[in-house]
Amino acid sequence: MQKKINNQERGNMTRVRMNTELRNKLFNKIKDVFENEDTQEKEDYLQARELVDSTYEGASILAKKVVERAYPQEDVAILRTFKRKYGQPCDVVAKDKCFYFAHSEDVDDEGQQVETKSHFDFGLFGNLNGSEYSSEQGKKFAVAYYREELKAQDCNPDIFAQQDTNKDNPHKTKHVDECMKALSYNHYSDSDETGVAKSFNAPYYLDVIGTSYCRSRAIACTKDEYKQFEQWRVAKANLVVKHQQWIDTIQKQCSQLKIGLKAYRYLSEGIELATELGIKLDEAELIRTNSTGLTIYNPSNLASMIKGMKNKHQSREAKILARKQYEESLN
């Protein structure tokens, strides 16, 4: 009687050759481990995000104090009454989340008082450098702040960091657009805010008086207050920096990983690499599953798939029998 070969013996007799799909699966599994490792760079990123939360709260409380000092709520209420009575000519009160704050406590070389002014935007996509029209830095902050939420939606929140030295390209544009859609980014109007952006921005809107909005409206504050606003904005920029530094370390590891996997001829070499990295991988699972995780090479599943490909053409007798069975089921 012929001896039956068990799975272990069969594995010892053959070596699975590498192919593109196996390399991709190995790469993605090992990369996931890189991203979830508790490294110093990751900890710095998480701490930077916590600092953003605390400084955002302090800066928003201060902004409310400074803005309401410039535009007392009593005056706002009176002007709204006038608008209801006289209509559009008295429409001078608006909600805003970005402000020009300014102080005049510094002097130049000649002892003359000088104004120090900058644009501070409390919105999710607000600038990080005082420029009213700087949008990409704001987008980098948004994806760094909502990284886990974007990952959960199959978006790539690391795309800016991964493409930091690259010019715009279709790959980058595709992933940036997906992230911006998930975060409800609207380039054209704050009044049409929805979703994540609307929820994030809502607490920071304040009543301001004027018709020119933040482009020419400078709100007076003290030098110490101005420094607090700057510290908050620096905390936002620091989150982007720490996110970049963390992803840089992952990118460097992934670069070496790709080179190694490309050189390997057999799956066992990739498994050995993972083991050396302290990562446990099941070779049998890698072989059985395709890139979507379906075990199509499981014998039972494969047999069912093959059987389903057969007997596409029925005989006349089989068709009559099927029709009778269908009618009986209706009765």
Q: What is the mean pLDDT of the chain?
A: 84
Question: What band does 330 get if pLDDT is binned at 50, 70 and 90?
Answer: low
If we measure between CA atoms, which residue out of 135, 159, 164, 145 comes closest to residue 235?
Answer: 145
CA atoms within 13 A on the CB side of 329: 6
Q: What SS3 state is found at 65?
A: helix
Instruction: For 62-94, write each residue's pLDDT tens digit.
Output: 999 999 999 999 999 999 999 999 998 899 999
pTM: 0.78
Place of tokens 């609207």: 186
Q: Over 60: is that where the pLDDT of 166 sits?
A: yes
Helical axes 20-36 vs 267-276, angle rounded to 10°? 10
d(CA 118, CA 218): 9
pLDDT of residue 221: 97
Give the mean model confidence (pLDDT) for residues 239-264: 93
- The per-residue pLDDT for range 34-55, each reduced to its tens digit, is 999 899 999 999 999 999 999 9
Which residues contact residue 240 at a Cβ distance below 8 angstroms, ignoring those fewer than 6 apart?
128, 137, 140, 141, 144
Distance CA 313, CA 15 (A): 40
- pLDDT at position 167 is 84
- pLDDT higher than 70, residue 176: yes
Q: Average pLDDT in the 115-123 region?
A: 94
State yes or no: pLDDT of 271 exceeds 50. yes
The residue length of the chain stands at 331
Distance CA 66, CA 229 (A): 11
| Whether 212 contacts 93, CB under 8 Å | no
The DSSP secondary-structure symbol of 204 reads G
Q: What is the pLDDT of residue 44?
A: 97
Amino acid sitting at position 33: V
102 within 8 A of 66, measured Cβ to Cβ? no
Question: In Å, what is the CA distance from 301 to each residue of 4, 104, 115, 168, 294?
Answer: 22, 76, 74, 43, 10
In this prediction, residue 319 has a pLDDT band, given cuts at 50, 70 and 90, of low
Cα separation, 29 vs 8, whole angstroms: 24
Question: With bands split at pLDDT 50, 70 and 90, how would you rate the model's confidence at 7?
Answer: low
Reported confidence tier of residue 189, pLDDT bands at 50, 70, 90:
low
Q: Mean pLDDT over residues 236-261, rounded?
A: 94
Torsion of CA 86, 75, 122, 203, to 10 degrees: -90
DSSP three-state, residue 292: coil
283/8 Cα distance (integer angstroms): 12
Q: How confident is the model at residue 320 (pLDDT cuts 50, 70, 90)?
A: low
Q: What's the pLDDT tens digit per position in 190-244?
A: 666 889 999 999 999 999 998 765 545 789 999 999 999 999 999 999 999 999 9
**Could you report how far apart the first and last alpha carbons of the chain are, in Å?**
54
The pair phi, psi for residue 296, each rounded to 5°, is: -75, -20
Contact 279, 27 (CB under 8 A): no
More confident residue, 2 or 43: 43
Average pLDDT score over residue span 147-152:
96
Q: What is the rounded average pLDDT of the residues 139-165? A: 96
pLDDT reported for residue 230: 97
Tokens encoding 307: 């059987």
56, pLDDT greater than 70: yes
The most distant pair of C-alpha atoms in the chain lies apart, rounded to whole Å, by 107
pLDDT for 110 equals 85
